[in-house]
Amino acid sequence: MPGTKLDQTDRMILAQLQGDGRMTNVELASRVGISAPPCLRRVRTLEEQGYIRGYHADVDPRLLGFEVQVFAMVGLHSQAEADLVAFENLCRAWPLVRECHMLNGEIDFILKCVAPDLSSFQSFLTEHLTAAANVASVRTSLVIRPAKDDPGVPFDVLEDRLAKEG
Amino acid sequence: MPGTKLDQTDRMILAQLQGDGRMTNVELASRVGISAPPCLRRVRTLEEQGYIRGYHADVDPRLLGFEVQVFAMVGLHSQAEADLVAFENLCRAWPLVRECHMLNGEIDFILKCVAPDLSSFQSFLTEHLTAAANVASVRTSLVIRPAKDDPGVPFDVLEDRLAKEG
DNA sequence: GCTGAAATCGCCTAACG
DNA sequence: CGTTAGGCGATTTCAGC
């Protein structure tokens, strides 16, 4: 599906749209040094081939009343594939769970959660997460403060790498 | 700074732009049931007041050659504020570290990292992260597969909550 | 204050070279 | 990939609720 490999213009487009996803196409085109029509064609292709998975406004959870962010490290009793998938599907159904990643090592999953306040998170924790089938252990850590939250991919690292390879 | 409280139209705008940050303003206006000019004014206000922190294309790291995603749990020797800030600034300077959150409990920080491959991550780990001043312990877990990665805030939970309060 | 309607301006996006 | 060109969206202005 990814099909074609990207040239530097494509990578510049991705870097620009990662930085400002609402930029107009003419602005984008001028920044990457081509005219608008081919720029738009490239963007459409990048979307179709999956390089761009979507565009999202970055909304401040705290200002909207979600005061609490929590990381939850989850261990399961069974790591059989069917049981892993079952737990992933549970996570997808829980709106307070925003991210769920399967890990190697002792922790099976890490979950990034938000909640309006501590008590509603505790309710979720006791009534849903720790109560779920196959869940063996849950360790939670409150986010005291977010120190860095950059989107996606470091394009400068990518360019460095490509430069060294030739 | 947040100043005014949001009405339901504002929250619908946020929910829509979180779902598709590149939607045109007329499309957005029709979805939330008002005409384009007031809709645009609301969006600008939401941006100025910090409810919308930015717009970002969601770029696929793997297709761009970042095959490895890692969570790193970091413990520090000193939790004095100056030392915490010093570590946060290090993280901000490391491009492979995409997120850094200060936590309560035994773990002081959790880092979400990306890297082109395992060996470049190992290099970063040994030469930079574990070598950094004040770092006491680092535990890393590779992401086997991402199971859920939803942006921001669950607006359905927010609306439920507001409905119950009246 | 807010919204909506009209008008202008600029962008998007075909078709073609 | 660039240029042209027609249609649509964005944005200001102004009037009404």
Are B77 and B16 within one domain?
Answer: no
Residue A3 has pLDDT above 60, yes or no: no
Taking CA atoms, B49 is separated from A59, A63, A82, B54, B57, in Å, by 11, 9, 45, 12, 22
Dist. CA B33–CA A91, nearest whole Å: 32
pLDDT tens digits, one per residue of A90-144: 999 999 999 999 999 989 999 999 999 999 999 999 999 999 999 999 999 999 9
Are B1 and B51 within one domain?
Answer: yes
pTM value is: 0.94
Band of pLDDT at residue A4, cut at 50, 70 and 90: low
Taking CA atoms, B39 is separated from A64, A138, B43, in Å, by 19, 43, 6
Are A89 and A28 within one domain?
Answer: no
Mutation for A interface: B60, B92, B97, most A CBs within 10 A: B60
Are A113 and A137 within one domain?
Answer: yes
pLDDT tens digits, one per residue of B60-74: 999 999 999 999 999
Residue A19 domain boundaries: 1-57
Residue B103 counted as domain residue: yes
* SS3 (DSSP) at A30: helix
Residue A153 counted as domain residue: no
- Choosing from B39, B57, B75, the residue where a domain stops is B57
Interface of B with A in 133-152 (CB under 8 A): 141-152
CATH number at residue B86: 3.30.70.920
Are A109 and A74 within one domain?
Answer: yes
Count structural domains, chain A: 2
Mutation for B interface: A6, A10, A56, A113, most B CBs within 10 A: A56
